[in-house]
Amino acid sequence: MSESFDYVIIGAGSAGCVLANRLSADGKNTVLLLEAGPTDRNIWVQMPLGYGMTFFNPKVNWMYDTEKDEGLNKHSAYWPRGKVLGGSSSINAMVYIRGLPLDFNNWRDEGNAGWGWDEVLPIFRGFEDHEWGESEYHGRGGEVHITDIKNDVHPLCQNFLTGAESIGYPRTDDFNGPQMEGVSTFHINTRKGWRASSSNAFLRPVMKRGNLQVRTEAHATRILFDTKSGDNNSNVSVRATRVEYLKNGTKHQVTARKEVIVSGGAINSPQLLQLSGIGDPELLAKHDIPVVMANPSVGRHMQDHLAMTHYYKSLKPTINNELYPLLGKLKVGLQYVFKRKGLLSMSVNQAGGFVRSSEAEAVPNLQLYFNPLTYTLKPGDGKLMNPDPYAAFSMSFNSCRPESRGHLEISSADPLAKPLIHPNYLDTEKDIQEAIAGCKILRDLSQSEAIKSVIQEETKPGLGIESDDDLLEDFRERAGTIYHAVGTCRMGQDPANSVVDERLRVHGVAGLRVVDASIFPAITSGNTNAPTMMAGEKGAAMILEDNI
């Protein structure tokens, strides 16, 4: 006989940790949280800049590779995703961005009642603990501490900000304030020098609750259902009742008395639904999986932010000069150990902006990043991405709201087999034009007096790449994900083009919801971690309301 809980949550990521906290808060509901990865008690997870050591570490990272993509000249893209308590919030760059009000109003206007900006802003504010204190735009006293790093960023960030202003981009004090448009330094989710992951913020403080169990290295393999048929099969009711998972090589089953909640993220959530018989009937038949609920939208409508980076050797010292030498590593290490400050307490994403590529755009459509550090990505044994052995910095951009849509599908009925990921980048003319426009903006920035004065050489793409065609070709050769995949179980009213309704219930199935970034109807204009935590908070409230 299997164990029984009121709620079984699959995935202890950005949303799953929020759900575990809120659903167990009253002490009455029993909650089981299953996480395929290990504990997050790992110095490289907890140290903010330690994500260089988790970028290629299979112990805490799913380390996905996409299929070869036509938009990237048939290259594959590397997609790291967190496989650890906290999920991707435990291995990300910690930039805290909510997105534009327009993003959420568009969600609402597609028929998703309750998801407009006026409804979600109080939710963001409710879980925030911003070091500026409480205001119309910020919360105080919540679980997620937000740090303003403007007084600690590298001096070259000022060159970027001054250069951007000199060519017409406004300065803003706060990307999460009244004016998102412009350039500034980022706010990051850290607390006292430690990463403020969803696990640290929401899960760790409540793990001793008697009604909450957390099981790590417990890989969910299937959701199981009860089916009741009416007369002549005219009224078929399907309900999620059990979850099958692997732990230490042994298969287990657990019963959910109220609901099963899938929070595996934009890759693992649709994969699990397909493995469980919810998806495109043709795909399921291909892998001999019985259809529980036909829904071809599962795994479709995928969006991601595709980023391009230009690299520059610098005439002034950068973080490379501090982190490359062995003595430099020792110095910043000691500073972090004894003071919990310095480079290791921050993100490499220190400054950036949200800008419009032309006056025809009503709101920002490109996000900029300035990193006073460069490094070479070397897949392998998970070692630190070592900085380049010379002074250098980089500038990057991505389109805020790309139109292209990709998809993913299971590769077999084996739950341990990685799914096939097809990003379908640059599939629309608008996305292509924004790619070219973004490259030109990076060039314009590099020619501003404040930035040009510190450039020794543009190393990539190099000044020989000038025409629109050349810039686009370079983009296709070198662009890569900024790690913001969403939309694969998107929210909507019509099962023909969505997977869950506005209350995140899977269409046609009782007792089953999806709560994570996969439910986004469209990608938000910025980093996706904060909106995912918001979805977890809102999803938990709806679950409790619906199960009174």
d(CA 523, CA 399): 11
Give the angle 34-536-6 at the CA atoms, nearest 5°. 50
The CATH number of the structural domain formed by 150-185+306-399+426-478 is: 3.30.410.40
> Is position 187 annotated as part of the catalytic site?
no
DSSP at 421: E
Give the contacts of 398 (CB within 8 A, at least 6 positions apart): 305, 306, 307, 308, 366, 367, 438, 482
- pLDDT of res. 110: 96
Q: Using DSSP bridges, classify how beta strands 64-65 and 128-130 pair: parallel, antiparallel or unpaired.
A: unpaired
pLDDT digits (tens, 9 = 90+) for 93-133: 999 999 999 999 999 999 999 999 999 999 999 999 999 99
Closest CA relative to residue 386, chosen from 376, 394, 395, 396: 376
| β-strand partners of 228 | 237
Domain ranges of the chain: 150-185+306-399+426-478
Token representation of residue 347? 């993100």
| β-strand partners of 393 | 312
d(CA 398, CA 400): 6
Helix (H) or strand (E) holding 440: helix 429-446
Helix (H) or strand (E) holding 338: helix 326-339
- pLDDT band (50, 70, 90) for residue 228: confident
Residue length, the chain?
Answer: 548
- pLDDT of res. 231: 43
Q: 145, 301, 484, 507: which is the annotated catalytic residue?
A: 484
pLDDT over threshold 50, residue 252: yes
Give the contacts of 161 (CB within 8 A, at least 6 positions apart): 171, 183, 184, 185, 351
Helix (H) or strand (E) holding 166: helix 156-166
Residue 311 and residue 460 in contact, taking contact as beta carbons nearer than 8 Å = yes
Residue 404 and residue 426 in contact, taking contact as beta carbons nearer than 8 Å = yes
pTM of the complete model: 0.96
pLDDT digits (tens, 9 = 90+) for 310-360: 999 999 999 999 999 888 889 999 999 999 999 999 998 999 999 999 999
Helix (H) or strand (E) holding 160: helix 156-166
Q: Using DSSP bridges, classify how beta strands 190-191 and 194-195 pair: parallel, antiparallel or unpaired.
A: antiparallel
**Torsion sign (Cα): 153, 159, 163, 166:** positive
Q: Across the chain, what does the average pLDDT equal?
A: 95
